[in-house]
């Protein structure tokens, strides 16, 4: 796991020193993503500079420090992530006559690209964000993993392209300025995140999951999707055959995700997904994986006793973090400053605290992230299926109802009162992506909604939370649910294994019951967000935090210049826990920005289109 940065002068090629300074500044701001080594490379003609911060996981030798070049010097790479099938790919490449100088997955990526070109990406099982520069064609390629586990941001600035693993790293580039997008601000208030490919800043973009982008001289660009999740025809065979297939695919995925040259642990709650991952890890490692969980002191739904019982049954060592009210209070104050861009997910703070504990023991941890979206684990799916009014809505209305009403945030009425001019663009730019799903008669509500979440909530809120909070402590988190085989099986989930008698994720439960007794696993899903009771017990503090955000946002041009909009949002923030926390985070994030970034009068150096 690492942090990458780079700059490509596609215009004159005469600004090598500026490129190097830009990449140095961006890389330095991401040092915690890669504390073990740093490197920088400049192309012979001076048009491209790649930077890298390394968290050493595979092949700890300095020979695997990046950027890395092919022996002929044509290609250079800066890569963040892990490729789990790199050993099998290496065997293929060696059989084709390719030779290697390191034992790293990075070199397999680079040699694989030199051998297969763009076809490489469809072969990969991994999480990654990477940049490859072709010195012969003078082209820069950016690519991101299937589901968007690893971040990658880019922008054009005065005839150059700059990119980095973190959004704020781009703000460190001399001469680069950014303006908050009002449309993205609306998106955040509606969703608690800004959906790809947009970011909170005008003219700054995120490479979309499962996509590569190629930039050439004179600013020309090409974009190509190499993976898209979709619901396929249900699995052929009986239910037991499907459960066997999921068991085998997850076992293989966990096995490859335990490979590292550093200590590996696991996250364990009392839920289905993490329990299953830990059960498979226990079987594969002879019960040597250290498990970690967290609970909230004084909360009636503390999961750690149940998680400990699961670990005991599996014979795994378990350490629980008891998160006190004081811990959460301390974490909540100034939390927005830790964020790349606003993320209103209430589980960010406890994830940050737990990651700190885990990193004190191990460098890598496996998790169950993605299981809810892929195998239909959210209670809102069941509620929507049973909602006759929802079923009666036209496709456009179903998509709108799901995003505005299923996950309480700022209400539709508040948003329409505060920012009515952004509603049409939100419908056109975001909601229209999902309307075709609700037009497909062969899909039931569960299939429609879990696919919707795979393209929205998962890459927008869940995965950024995991990446940003863990990498603040230089911890790598891996999930087996995103292996190509598991993704393919989830797309063919039989309807009879979706839910039964109110129990969700029936397919995964059927696998888990092979390893853990039913009474040890919670019947219903519990989130890891700061508990509602915690907000209720600490109302004075949260009123104070919200008041501070009120004051910051009152003087922030996007809202301060529109007093009626500010007043509507200030009142709407108090409507529910999610909107309150999102408002607090937004104020803290704005307060943490460089002063120039908060000024709406400043011109955007980045272009308006990707």
Condensed to tens digits (0 to 9), the pLDDT of residues 344-389 reads 999 999 999 999 999 999 999 999 999 999 999 999 999 999 988 8
Instruction: Give yes or no for residue 467 having a pLDDT over 70.
Output: yes
Residues 300 and 166 in one domain: no
Q: Pull the structure tokens for residue 145.
A: 């993993």
What is the structure's pLDDT at 218?
A: 82
Is residue 234 included in any domain, yes or no?
no
pLDDT class of 605 with cuts at 50, 70, 90: very low
The region, left, alpha or beta by phi > 0 then psi within -120 to 50, assigned to residue 398 is alpha
Reported confidence tier of residue 219, pLDDT bands at 50, 70, 90: confident
Q: Is residue 322 part of a domain?
A: yes
Domain contains 423? no
203 token code pair: 């003219």
If you ran DSSP here, which 8-state letter would residue 460 be given?
I
Which structural domain range is residue 573 located in? 535-596
Residues comprising the chain, all counted: 610
503 lies in a domain?
A: yes
Confidence class for position 296, pLDDT limits 50, 70, 90: confident
* pLDDT confidence tier of residue 523, bands split at 50, 70 and 90: low
pLDDT tens column, 180-211: 999 999 999 999 999 999 999 999 999 999 99
Mean predicted lDDT score pLDDT of the chain: 91
Residues 206, 277 within the same domain: no
| Mean per-residue pLDDT, 268-276 | 93
Does the pLDDT of residue 604 top 50, yes or no?
Answer: no
Asked if residue 425 is part of any domain, the answer here is no
Lowest-confidence segment of 62-66, 304-308, 599-603 by average pLDDT: 599-603
Q: Which pLDDT score, from 0 to 100, does residue 600 have?
A: 35
What is the rounded distance in angstroms from the CA atom of residue 148 to the CA atom of residue 34? 19
Query: Which segment of 56-65, 114-123, 209-218, 308-317 scores lowest on mean pLDDT?
Result: 56-65
Q: Is the pLDDT of residue 607 over 50?
A: no
487 and 556 assigned to the same domain: no
> CB burial class (10 A; 0-12, 13-18, 19+) of residue 240?
exposed
Q: Which of 460, 495, 520 is the last residue of a domain?
A: 520
Asked if 486 and 557 sit in the same domain, the reply is no
- The Cα–Cα gap between 72 and 116 comes to 16
Q: Specify the pTM.
A: 0.94
The whole-number pLDDT of residue 567 equals 96
Q: Give the other-Cβ count within 10 Å of 524's Cβ.
A: 10
Element containing residue 488 per DSSP (H, E): helix 484-490
310 is a domain residue: yes
Q: Highest mean pLDDT: which of 5-14, 31-40, 146-155? A: 146-155
Cα–Cα distance, 193 to 282 (Å, whole number): 35
Q: What is the pLDDT of residue 501?
A: 87
Cis peptide bond prior to 197, omega within 30° of 0? yes
Name the residue among 256, 251, 282 with its Cα closest to residue 268: 282
Beta-bridged to residue 35, according to DSSP, are: 54
Average pLDDT in the 62-69 region?
91
Query: What is the average pLDDT across 58-72?
Result: 89
Predicted confidence at residue 270, as pLDDT, reads 84
Written as six digits, the tokens of 259 are: 């490979």
- Percent of the chain at pLDDT > 70 equals 95
Domain count of the chain?
Answer: 3
Residues 281 and 366 in one domain: yes
Q: Are 110 and 32 members of one domain?
A: yes
Q: Helix 463-471 crosses helix 348-359 at what angle (to 10 degrees)?
A: 40
- CA pseudo-torsion sign 573, 576, 579, 582: positive
Helix (H, G, I), strand (E, B) or coil at 446: helix
Residue 483: inside a domain: yes
Residue 188 phi/psi, 5-degree rounding, is -60, -45
If asked whether residues 280 and 356 sit together in one domain, one would say: yes
Q: Within this chain, do residues 43 and 175 fall inside the same structural domain, yes or no?
A: yes
CATH number at residue 9: 3.60.20.10
Clarify whether residues 115 and 17 are in a common domain.
Answer: yes
Q: Do 86 and 11 share a structural domain?
A: yes
* Kind of pairing between the strands at 153-157 and 139-144: unpaired
Using one digit for the tens of pLDDT, what is the confidence trace for 229-245? 999 999 999 999 999 99
Q: Give the other-Cβ count within 10 Å of 274's Cβ.
A: 24
- Among 162, 192, 225, the domain boundary falls at 225
Q: Distance between CA 203 and CA 603 in Å, rounded?
A: 11
User: Would you say residue 464 has pLDDT above 50?
Assistant: yes
> Residue 125 contacts by C-beta under 8 Å, 6 or more apart in sequence?
83, 84, 85, 253, 256, 483, 484
Cis peptide before 67 (omega within 30 of 0): yes
Residue 447 within any structural domain of the chain: no
Q: Quick: pLDDT tens for 122-165.
A: 999 999 999 999 999 999 999 999 999 999 999 998 789 999 99
Are residues 128 and 8 part of one domain? Answer: yes
Both 355 and 243 in a single domain?
A: yes
Q: What is the pLDDT of residue 525?
A: 64
Q: Indicate which CATH number applies to the domain containing 354.
A: 3.40.50.620
């Amino acid at each position: 796991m690492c942090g990458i940065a780079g700059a490509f002068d596609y215009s004159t090629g005469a600004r090598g020193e500026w490129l190097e300074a830009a990449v140095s500044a961006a890389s330095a701001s991401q040092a915690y993503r890669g504390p073990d080594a740093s490197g920088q490379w400049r192309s012979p003609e001076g048009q491209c500079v790649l930077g890298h911060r390394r968290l050493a996981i595979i092949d700890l030798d300095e020979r695997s420090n990046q950027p890395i070049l092919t022996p002929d010097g044509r290609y250079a790479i800066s890569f963040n992530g892990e490729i789990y099938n790199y050993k099998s790919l290496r065997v293929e490449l060696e059989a084709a006559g390719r030779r290697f100088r390191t034992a790293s997955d990075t070199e397999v990526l680079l040699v694989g690209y030199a051998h297969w070109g763009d076809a490489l990406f469809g072969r990969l099982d991994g999480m990654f964000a990477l940049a490859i520069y072709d010195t012969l064609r003078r082209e820069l390629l950016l690519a991101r993993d299937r589901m968007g586990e690893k971040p990658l941001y880019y922008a054009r600035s005065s005839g150059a392209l700059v990119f980095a693993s973190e959004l704020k790293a781009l703000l460190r580039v001399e001469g680069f300025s950014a303006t908050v997008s009002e449309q993205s601000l609306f998106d955040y208030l509606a969703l608690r995140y800004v959906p790809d490919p947009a970011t909170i800043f005008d003219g700054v973009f995120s490479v979309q999951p499962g996509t590569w982008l190629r930039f050439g001289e004179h600013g020309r660009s090409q974009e190509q999707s190499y993976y898209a999740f979709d619901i396929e025809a249900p699995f052929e065979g009986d239910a037991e055959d499907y459960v066997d297939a999921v068991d085998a695919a997850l076992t293989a995925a966990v096995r490859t995700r335990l490979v590292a040259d550093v200590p590996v642990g696991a996250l364990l709650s009392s839920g289905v997904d993490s329990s299953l991952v830990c059960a498979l890890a226990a079987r594969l490692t002879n019960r040597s994986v250290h498990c970690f969980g967290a609970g909230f002191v004084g909360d009636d739904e503390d999961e750690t006793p149940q998680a400990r019982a699961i670990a005991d049954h599996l014979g795994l060592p378990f350490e629980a973090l008891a998160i006190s009210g004081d811990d959460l209070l301390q974490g909540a104050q100034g939390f927005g400053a830790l964020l790349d861009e606003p993320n209103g997910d209430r589980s960010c703070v406890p994830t940050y605290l737990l990651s700190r504990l885990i990193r004190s023991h191990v460098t890598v941890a496996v998790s169950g992230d993605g299981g809810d979206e892929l195998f239909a684990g959210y209670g809102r799916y069941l509620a929507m299926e049973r909602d006759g009014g929802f079923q009666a809505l036209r496709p456009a209305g179903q998509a709108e109802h799901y995003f505005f009403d299923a996950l309480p945030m700022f209400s539709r009425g508040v948003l329409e009162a505060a920012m009515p001019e952004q509603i049409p663009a939100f419908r056109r730019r975001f909601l229209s992506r999902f309307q075709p799903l609700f037009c497909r008669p062969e899909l039931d509500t569960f299939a429609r909604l879990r696919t919707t979440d795979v393209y929205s909530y998962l890459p927008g809120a869940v995965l950024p939370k995991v990446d940003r909070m863990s990498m603040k402590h230089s911890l790598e988190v891996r999930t087996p649910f995103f292996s190509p085989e598991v993704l393919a099986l989830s797309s063919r989930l039989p309807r009879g294994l979706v839910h039964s008698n109110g129990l969700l994720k029936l397919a995964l439960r059927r696998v888990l019951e092979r390893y853990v007794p039913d009474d040890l696993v919670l019947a219903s899903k519990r989130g890891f967000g700061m508990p509602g009771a915690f907000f209720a017990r600490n109302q004075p503090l949260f009123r104070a935090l919200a008041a501070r955000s009120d004051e910051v946002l009152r003087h922030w041009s996007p809202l301060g210049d529109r007093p009626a909009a500010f007043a509507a949002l200030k009142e709407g923030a108090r409507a529910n826990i999610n909107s309150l926390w999102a408002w607090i985070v937004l104020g803290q994030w704005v307060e943490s920005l460089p002063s120039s970034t908060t000024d709406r009068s400043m011109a955007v150096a980045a272009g308006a289109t990707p």
